[in-house]
Chain A
């Protein structure tokens, strides 16, 4: 069925290394994608978004890549820090323009080793 999913449920990296979190989506009609970070006991926090007319977008230490050909989304975190430890969710908007129809994936837990 249609779903937003993740390749890996957990990811462990060394402090200072770069992290790459992957996400697959199945609906080619999705036109807006968001990455959220969720720390334990807190609500999801917006990290970065990208529209389908782009294939790359950069923020502070984060980059989102979108490959529409293979319906793949990735989040790259440069120089990963202990404070980056959290669960990361990708979300897709399947109906164009309305964030109320965001479909979240199951999440990847990122652990940063000091």
Chain B
């Protein structure tokens, strides 16, 4: 069974440019999460989806970050415009449902903003 798939694995952009990350969760997993991980830190939740509904986006910086999960399967996280401080790893995770057990993480998308 395929795990959580993310792309791109690496992205280097100049500040003020837009960037988008894509995530395909494990088949059948209704809950999808986007986390931000800074170097040497633990992951921090940005947004959580239950099917196509964003049920917790309180930590998402909405002035420049947006996310969507239109059909309740794959999801896209966008940053526009990117700032130097956005350099980090963006992790996607999925689980069967809220509170249903472990989260399965993808390998992450490493963003470098120059």
Give A residues with C-beta under 8 Å from B: 4, 34, 41-46, 49, 89, 91, 97-102, 104-107
Q: What distance in Å separates the Cβ of A51 from its nearest Cβ neighbour in chain B? A: 11
Do B103 and A99 have beta carbons less than 8 Å apart? Answer: yes
- Complex A-B: 25 CB contacts under 8 Å: A34-B102, A42-B107, A42-B108, A43-B4, A43-B106, A43-B107, A43-B108, A44-B43, A45-B105, A46-B104, A49-B102, A89-B43, A98-B98, A98-B99, A99-B101, A99-B102, A99-B103, A100-B45, A100-B55, A100-B56, A101-B45, A104-B42, A106-B40, A106-B41, A107-B40
Q: Does B53 contact A (CB under 8 A)?
A: no
Q: Bound state CA distance, A46 and B93, in angstroms? A: 11
A34: chain B residues within 8 A (beta carbon): 102
Known: A99-B99, A99-B103. 16 other contacts (CB 8 A): A41-B107, A43-B91, A43-B105, A43-B107, A44-B43, A97-B99, A98-B98, A98-B99, A99-B98, A99-B100, A99-B102, A100-B48, A101-B45, A101-B56, A102-B45, A107-B40
Q: Which bracket fits the contact residues of B? A: 20 to 34
Q: Bound state CA distance, A100 and B102, in angstroms? A: 11
- Most A CB contacts (10 A, CB to CB) among B33, B42, B93, B103 go to B42
Q: Select from chain B the residue with minimum beta-carbon distance to A45.
A: B105
Q: What distance in Å separates the Cβ of B66 from its nearest Cβ neighbour in chain A? A: 18
Q: What distance in Å separates the Cβ of A100 from its nearest Cβ neighbour in chain B? A: 4
